[in-house]
Amino acid sequence: MARLSDPITILRGIGPAKAKLFAQLNIFTLEDLICHFPRGYEDRTKLATISSLQPDVPACFRAMVMNTPRTSHIRKGLDLTKVQVADHTARLNLTFFNNRYAEQLQYGKEYYFYGAVSGDFIGYNMTNPVYETLDSQPVTTRRVLPVYPLTAGLSNANVLKAVRQALAVCDAPEEIIPEGIRERYGILPAERAYTAIHEPEDMAQAEEAKKRLIFEEFFVFSAGLSLMRQARAEKRCPVYDNLNLKPFLGCLPFRLTGAQLRVIDQIREDLGKGTPMNRLVQGDVGSGKTMVAAAAAYLAVTNHHQAALMAPTEILAEQHYTSLSKLLTPLGIRVGLLTGSMTPKNKTLLRERIAAGELDLVIGTHALVTDSTVFSNLGLVIADEQHRFGVKQRSKLSAKGQAPHLLVMSATPIPRTLALLMYGDLEVSVLDELPPGRQTVDTFLVGESYRPRINAFIRKHAENGNQIYVVCPAVEETDGMSLKAATEWAETLQNAVFPDLRVALLHGQMKGADKDGVMSAFAKGEADVLVATTVIEVGVDVPNATLMVIEDADRFGLSQLHQLRGRVGRGKDKSYCILTTHNRNPDTVARLKAFCKTTDGFKIAQEDLKMRGPGDFFGARQSGLPAFRMASLGSDLDTLTVAQKASRDWIEACGDSDTPEAAALRKRIGELFDRAEGTMN
Ligand code: ADP
Ligand code: MG
């Protein structure tokens, strides 16, 4: 018997060359191969008659060879072999391209065929069917044939053969779902499922196998989240007994909204419990999450702990640094900034101060979480725009310091089912109120004919002393695409349209320090127009910006548009968002028009999710979710709910038991979360 961890090269027919092709599909071991699931099936189990064949619909049928196959040489590299077959209903001409084997079809003998007739000619014809003798093992006919994801050079038959061998020489992956749960939810045992997914006897069996494997993935994932939650709930941390926020509130230039106060209260309660807080704050763009973070940081510091605030981009980290140090320094809080683009020397210096406890609140990018940052007494970790931080990163954070409190903030309103999946280990607070006086951003959808008017509008805003964002879907022009590219568009605007205005450019391919330079210059009012890609999407705050033009708006997801639009309307002046598009697809236009009328981020997110499915919704790299092999977040959410319940029941009943199943489950959870981290950033 072979082991699951053995390389696939132990299989017949897989040498170094084939192995390289399999490697492109991320298949290295027998286990990878067995977990390479079909993306669909062809049902070749039903036998058709020739007269019932429909053009272009492949089908399986049994027929007798009516003459001796004849091959004619058409030209160099093209041989045609022709033969006629028949059943009791009709005759059919078969043509094979460059397939001398077909000459071996025997006159008077019956075979099973699988192929599609083409209706192009008078009378039926079929090109390149596959066939097998009546007494052969069904491989390409009379069975449900799995269709695998492939790569160039690797055929479905190659994969099929390899998988079949793998299943024959080693056991299926271990069972991780206890029998009781399998029975309750009607779930196949692992062994059966892994075999049936590759070699189902009929479509019903394939479906059963699929159901089990989807259930399994969600079960593992939610069990992992439950275990994390449980482990954290068992942890102890110092009780914060100084929960007086008066000095902090007294320093604010405005009164907090009811929602902000409510959420801050929930946080205060968490901090007084003596177990680490795990809270997600969801709030639409502009709902004032930063103040909630600041309040939490204030409490940590007044209780003699350090706080860390992680932002997804340097720009955002700097912005938080600027606004929070202004706010908190007068209260005696020492604030520091640590980002990846600082010089190594400055980083070292800053880390020394963090380690010595000379800084109370440290703001930074991912650099903050790297292992070389040691805190003297870390009590609170805040992750801003959290959907970019995965489960694994969350758990890595908790490992820092003495079980710090965790506060994550997300501006992407996430539909409940999905939130459960992503944040199953967190409590959720919602900031459902915008600060007073916040005006809606009037949004319009226009075509290219409006260009002169758009330009005039931009000029008017600039002349009023306000600033303008122009967002493009691409950085550079690419062949064959007429998308507005930021680099070229910035040049055009500066040279040809607004020679007298200051046009700046910002895109993701610029160096971190350059990006920061441009962004902070814009924030200081040193440019009138900022042409940018979606790098400005996240959290940047320039209250003086009152107009955003989004070019080729149909290229963006609705949630993304919503985030972008949230960059204007942050100050006292009336703000506008103009979407341009060349796209005339009625659905697209309807979608964008609906967006113009809605300002509710939750509604927009729901719509977006419905339209695109969660993979695109977050962008595969952003979700921090594992790449599920079988489960789809779009269509399998019902199974998710069930699996979640099952995993919770099980963890409660016997999560800490020492059964082989429990051990296998824990191992699998580790692998899944590792894969989640592998897909990040
Ligand atoms: P987001 O939730 O998108 O992170 P921010 O925290 O950046 O929102 O807040 C957006 C703007 O609103 C900032 O300029 C902030 O100073 C301001 N703000 C926050 N809370 C209030 C409030 N209660 N009243 C007035 N302005 C506020
Ligand atoms: Mg924010």
- Residue 50: phi and psi, rounded to 5, are -60, -40
The pick from 541, 544, 563 for probing ligand 1's pocket by mutation, whose C-beta has the most ligand atoms within 8 angstroms, reads: 541
User: Quick one: which ligand is closest to 292's CA?
Assistant: 1
Write down the pLDDT at residue 681: 30
> What is the 8-class DSSP label of residue 55?
B
With a threshold of 0.85, does the pTM exceed it? no
Three-class DSSP category at 335: strand
Query: Which domains, and CATH codes, for the chain?
Result: 1-45+158-171 (no CATH), 46-142 (2.40.50.140), 246-431 (3.40.50.300), 442-598 (3.40.50.300)
Axis-axis angle for helices 289-302, 314-328 (nearest 10): 60
Q: Taking a C-beta distance cutoff of 8 angstroms, is the pair 86, 64 a contact?
A: yes
Nearest CA to ligand 1 atom 9: 288
**Other CB atoms closer than 10 Å to residue 204's CB: what's the count?**
11
Q: Is the CB of 292 under 6 A from ligand 1?
A: no
CB 256 less than 6 A from any atom of ligand 1: yes
Q: Is the CB of 435 under 6 A from ligand 1?
A: yes
DSSP 596-611: HH---HHHHHHHHHHH
DSSP line for 351-368: HHHHHTT--SEEEESGGG
Residue found under tokens 């059943």: 87
Residue recorded with tokens 């607070």: 429
Distance of CA 495 to the CA centre of its chain: 39
Q: Are 94 and 87 in contact (CB under 8 A)?
A: no
Amino acid identity of 510? Answer: M
Give the C-alpha separation, 228 to 586, whole Å.
46
Task: Tell me which long-range contacts 614-620 makes (C-beta under 8 A, separation of at least 24).
Answer: 614/418, 616/557, 617/557, 617/559, 618/387, 618/412, 620/679
Mutate to test the pocket of ligand 1, among 248, 254, 567 (most ligand atoms within 8 A of CB): 254
Q: Rounded to an integer, what distance in angstroms lies between the CA atom of residue 572 and that of residue 32?
A: 57
Instruction: Quote the radius of gyration of the chain (alpha carbons, Å).
Output: 31
Give me the DSSP letters along 148-187: ----TT--HHHHHHHHHHHHHHSPPSPP-S-HHHHHHHT-
CB 669 within 8 A of CB 220: yes
The alpha carbon of 623 is separated from its chain's Cα centroid by a whole number of angstroms, namely: 4
- For the CA of 385, the nearest ligand: 2
Work out the angle at residue 384's Cα, subtended by the Cα atoms of residues 378 and 389, and round it to the nearest 5 degrees.
85
Q: Are 541 and 570 in contact (CB under 8 A)?
A: yes
Atom of ligand 1 nearest to the CA of 293: 6
Q: What share of the chain is helix, strand, coil (3-state, %, to 5)?
A: 45, 20, 40
Average pLDDT across each block of 10 residues of the chain; the chain has 681 residues. List them in order: 92 94 94 93 93 91 96 92 95 93 95 88 80 91 93 92 93 89 93 94 94 92 81 83 94 94 97 91 87 97 95 83 94 93 90 95 82 86 72 66 83 66 76 84 94 96 97 74 79 95 91 82 94 76 93 88 89 93 89 90 75 49 60 73 86 75 84 58 30
Two structure tokens written together for 649: 């029941």
Gap from CA of 283 to ligand 2 centroid (Å): 9
- What whole-number distance in Å separates Cα of residue 146 and Cα of residue 197? 8
For residues 471 and 537, give the distance between their C-alpha atoms in angstroms, rounded to a whole number. 10
The answer to whether residues 393 and 677 touch, using CB atoms and an 8 Å cutoff, is yes
Quote the tokens at residue 76: 């160099």
List the end-to-end C-alpha distance of the chain, in Å, as a whole number: 39
**Cβ 115 vs Cβ 140: under 8 Å:** no
Ligand nearest to the Cα of 327, by number: 1
- Judge contact between 338 and 351, C-beta under 8 A: yes
Mutate to test the pocket of ligand 1, among 284, 287, 290 (most ligand atoms within 8 A of CB): 290
Cβ contact 169:2 at 8 Å? yes
